[in-house]
Amino acid sequence: MKAVHYGSNPESQLARALRRLERDVLRMGALVEQSFRLSHQALFAQNLTAAEELPRLDKKIDRFYRQIESDCTAIMTMQAPTAQDLRCLSAFMQLVRDLERIGDYAKDLAEIAIKIFPYPPHTSLAEIAIMSHHAQAMLATSLVALADLDAASGRSIKHLDDAVDNAYDRLYQTLAQQRDVPGVVEPIVLLALAIRCLERMADHATNIGQRVAYIVTGQRS
């Protein structure tokens, strides 16, 4: 973690509290990355053991979310945070909301994996897996940007989002226009839900990158 100077005295109680907060946000981010990986294994490798891990992980993520929000509120009442400190706290509160939502979508993907398990693999599954890899790379990039407090890297994620959006549009058209579907249409519906989850996860990763840039520069994208 790159050093950031909080307040007038970097050794103050306020500075220490902000350091702890940074570490907790990154620990939460690591759990969200893990949940995303497990949901990918569940959906594309039919690993139902991975799917069963998601509810437990999601509870840990939710606990971090509540604790970090509470800590941010408490820090705001401490010894006169500077304008930069308040900017960081505001960004952290929004950023952990994005992380929490990605965790929720990962749990949704695991539930989709369980429901779609009995059906034969769809021809679009390989392309959806590539979309998932892109979204995971965006999340990883956003967390590295946060750890390094790298504004340029944070902003770059918005460009990576184009690949996920394009994949979503292409896959949605493929699924929506599929003809002569034998038997039930449930797997088509489930895959449409899966690509929507992935598209939203990428959007939240983009938000995280933009919030990192705001912490560093004070300017909203």
pLDDT per residue as tens digits for the range 53-92: 999 999 999 999 999 999 999 888 876 788 888 889 999 9
| Residue 140 lies inside a defined structural domain of this protein | yes
Domain residue limits at 175: 13-217
Q: Which residue has the higher pLDDT, 13 or 7?
A: 13
Residue 62: CB atoms within 10 Å:
14
Contact 164, 135 (CB under 8 A): yes
Asked if 78 and 188 touch (Cβ cutoff 8 Å), the reply is no
Using CA atoms, how far apart are residues 151 and 211, in angstroms rounded to an integer?
A: 9
Range 15-35 average pLDDT: 94
Helix H or strand E encompassing 89: helix 83-116
117-152 per-position pLDDT tens digit: 999 999 999 999 999 999 999 999 999 999 999 999
- For the residues 5-27, what does the mean pLDDT come to? 77
Would you say residue 2 lies in a domain? no
Q: Is residue 36 part of a domain?
A: yes
- 176 by Cβ neighbours in 10 Å (0-12 / 13-18 / 19+) ranks as exposed
Question: For the domain that residue 193 is a member of, what is the CATH number?
Answer: 1.20.58.220
What pLDDT was estimated at residue 8? Answer: 46
Least confident span in 4-13, 157-166, 203-212: 4-13
Query: Residue 221 — pLDDT band, cuts 50, 70, 90?
Result: low
Q: What pLDDT is attached to residue 9?
A: 52
Q: pLDDT of 166-220, one tens digit each?
A: 999 999 999 999 877 667 889 999 999 999 999 999 999 999 999 999 999 988 7
Residue 8 resides in a domain: no
Structural domain total, the chain: 1
Q: What is the Cα gyration radius of the chain?
A: 19
Residue 122 DSSP symbol: P
Residue 94, amino acid: Q
Instruction: Point out the least confidently predicted range of 7-11, 43-47, 135-139.
Output: 7-11
- Within a domain: residue 7? no
Q: How far apart are CA 12 and CA 10, in angstroms?
A: 6
Q: Is 4 a domain residue?
A: no
Residue 184 lies in a domain: yes
3-state secondary structure of 117: coil
Angle at 38 between CA 142 and CA 204, to 5 degrees: 30
The C-alpha atoms of residue 6 and residue 201 are separated, in whole angstroms, by 31
In a domain, 181, yes or no: yes
Q: Which of 164, 105, 160 lies closest to 132, judged by CA? A: 164
Q: Take residue 208 and report the two structure tokens written for it.
A: 């995280």
Q: What is the mean pLDDT of residues 93-112?
A: 97
| 119 burial level (CB within 10 Å; 0-12, 13-18, 19+) | middle
